[in-house]
Amino acid sequence: MRETKITPGSNLLWSSKFILPEHRGAMQQQDKNNRKQVLPVLGEQAQVEIDRLVRLSFDTKTAITLRVFGEFEDRLISGVVVRIDRHLNQIKLAAGDGEEEWIRLSLILGAEEMDRSDLF
């Protein structure tokens, strides 16, 4: 028997990969959703250490590096804590280049002190 596009085992019909634009968009959205991370639950000791370093940075203007949760990838942000807002549960971090960013405390996964000379 001669092999054609629709004979069993050929699979040539399905390997041509004609994809409609709306299907391509749906596939890309599904791939993006599959790469999403889930926010981990921090232990009490880790949370206490983060709070201690945030307070230390605020009180002494010491630079810290924060690891902040991101939906697809975590970010490292360095700077000095210039404001703590307990009502909104967030801090304002000032980087060396003058930029300031509000960061929710619940999204901070880790914190460490850094030498102030590393910031500038």
| Domains of the chain with bracketed CATH | 44-119 (2.30.30.100)
Can you give the pLDDT at residue 112? 92
Please name every residue paired with 56 in a beta bridge, in sequence order, or none if there are none. Answer: none
The pLDDT confidence band at residue 46, using thresholds 50, 70 and 90, is: very high
Amino acid at the residue 60? T
Asked whether the beta carbons of 88 and 105 are under 8 A apart, the reply is no
DSSP per position, 26-56 = HHHHHHHHHT---PPPPPHHHHHHHHHHHHH
Residue 3 has pLDDT above 80, yes or no: no
Q: Average pLDDT for residues 28-57, to the nearest whole number?
A: 88
Mean of the per-residue pLDDT values of the chain = 83
Residue 96 has pLDDT above 60, yes or no: yes
Better-predicted residue by pLDDT, 115 or 80: 80
- Which positions ≥6 away from 116 have C-beta within 8 Å? 62, 63
Residue 6 has pLDDT above 60, yes or no: no
CA dist 75 and 101 (Å) reads: 13
User: Which of 32-36, 56-60, 84-88 is predicted least confidently?
Assistant: 32-36
Q: Average pLDDT for residues 71-88, to the nearest whole number?
A: 91
Can you give the pLDDT at residue 90? 94
The pLDDT confidence band at residue 114, using thresholds 50, 70 and 90, is: confident
H helical segments located in the chain: 12-15, 21-34, 44-60, 116-119
